[in-house]
Amino acid sequence: MNYECLICQVKALPKRMDKFEIAEEKRNVLVSQMVKNIANIDLNNSYSPEITRNLLAGLKLHSAIDDPYKQEKQQSNKELLARYDEFKQRVENSADRFDTALRLAIAGNIIDFGPTHKFDVEETIDRVLTSDFAVDDSAELKDEIEKATTILYLGDNCGEIVLDKLFLETINHPNVIFAVRDKPILNDATIKEAMEVGIPEVAKLISNGDDAPSTLLHRVSKEFLDIYKSADLIIAKGMGNFEGLMYETDPRLFNLLMIKCQVIGDMLGANKGEFVVKRYAPK
């Protein structure tokens, strides 16, 4: 982690209190407590998604709202599903169906309601279809997909999962397991939203047993961890999953994401706004 991650957490507090509709008279005390907690975090032994999870859990204790991003999740899924046939046609008409479906899945990663993040889906789709990847291990990914008996796909945000579905439909692998968060957190997908967009049509759908906006191997359920350990190939979507797995040196693991933060960009050798297909370690 980087000190900028902590600054970002502090900046996000007012917006997050608004989403949880925290009473005004509670806010001064809550912010004071949370800023103290943030100040005491050991940057060398912490994961940003876990900090987010803990801060949001603290806010939830003072709120009657269980799923503050419910409306945004429903809307982003609805909007992307309405265009599914259009996106599918674009894939079908392309010279390289795998490459186009992969690019659309990565473009979906722009749909994020995290701190200070603004997004334009249409502009991102246009760019991803015409840009080089800043890190491009896509040929290796395609090769590993063809060889894998079991693929574990780590989902990320609502809306984005619609384009994940299209990618999985395109590769047409017979044994894909799609993992989502166990409970609502930010606009990340849970079983409920993944079922609504039809993920079970292309993959076996499971929960990772945790409610952090990431895949944190020290927090997930034993059932998920057993599946994780046994998979031939693991495809992780988005920056949250990258932040939870970035210290792994596992050649089975690939990450597909758009860089939304230069701290992460610097780690991957990319700039904010660029697209990445990254293998975590050579085989």
Q: What is the pLDDT of residues 118-176, one digit of tens each?
A: 557 778 888 888 889 999 999 999 999 999 999 999 999 999 999 999 999 999 999 99
Last residue of a domain, one of 37, 60, 83: 60
Residues 233 and 117 in one domain: yes
DSSP letter at 43? Answer: G
Residues 11 and 91 in one domain: no
Residues 149 and 51 in one domain: no
Residue 207 dihedral angles phi and psi, to the nearest 5°: -95, 150
SS3 content of the chain, % helix, strand, coil (to 5): 50, 10, 35
Mean pLDDT of 69-80: 93
- The pLDDT, as a whole number, for residue 113 is 54
Asked whether residue 209 carries a pLDDT value surpassing 90, the answer given is yes
Q: Rounded to an integer, what distance in angstroms lies between the CA atom of residue 267 and that of residue 95? A: 32
Residues 252 and 133 in one domain: yes
Could you tell me where the beta strands, DSSP code E, fall in the chain?
A: 135-136, 151-154, 176-180, 204-207, 233-237, 253-258, 275-279
Residue 67: which pLDDT band, with cuts at 50, 70 and 90?
very high
Return the residue matching tokens 């722009």: 110
**Is the Cβ–Cβ distance between 108 and 159 less than 8 Å?**
yes
The residue among 1 and 201 whose pLDDT is bigger is: 201
Last residue of a domain, one of 12, 29, 60: 60
Please give the tally of structural domains in the chain: 2
Q: What is the pLDDT of residues 89-127, one digit of tens each?
A: 999 999 999 999 999 999 888 776 554 455 577 788 888
Residues 131 and 220 in one domain: yes
Q: Which of 114-123, 180-189, 207-216 has the lowest mean pLDDT?
A: 114-123
Residues 118 and 179 in one domain: yes
Q: Rounded to an integer, what distance in angstroms lies between the CA atom of residue 205 and that of residue 155? A: 10
- The pLDDT, as a whole number, for residue 223 is 98
**Is the Cβ–Cβ distance between 227 and 152 less than 8 Å?**
yes
Exposed / middle / buried, residue 12 (Cβ in 10 Å: 0-12, 13-18, 19+) = middle
- The pLDDT, as a whole number, for residue 112 is 60
- The pLDDT, as a whole number, for residue 114 is 53
Tokens of 57: 């859990």
**Is the Cβ–Cβ distance between 85 and 167 less than 8 Å?**
no
What does DSSP say about strands 204-207 and 233-237: parallel, antiparallel, or unpaired? unpaired
- The pLDDT, as a whole number, for residue 118 is 52
Residue 188 dihedral angles phi and psi, to the nearest 5°: -70, 150
Residues 152 and 31 in one domain: no
Is residue 65 a part of any domain in this protein? no
Range of the domain at 219: 70-279
Q: Rounded to an integer, what distance in angstroms lies between the CA atom of residue 76 and that of residue 107? A: 13
Rounded mean pLDDT of the chain? 93
- The pLDDT, as a whole number, for residue 115 is 47
Is residue 220 a part of any domain in this protein? yes
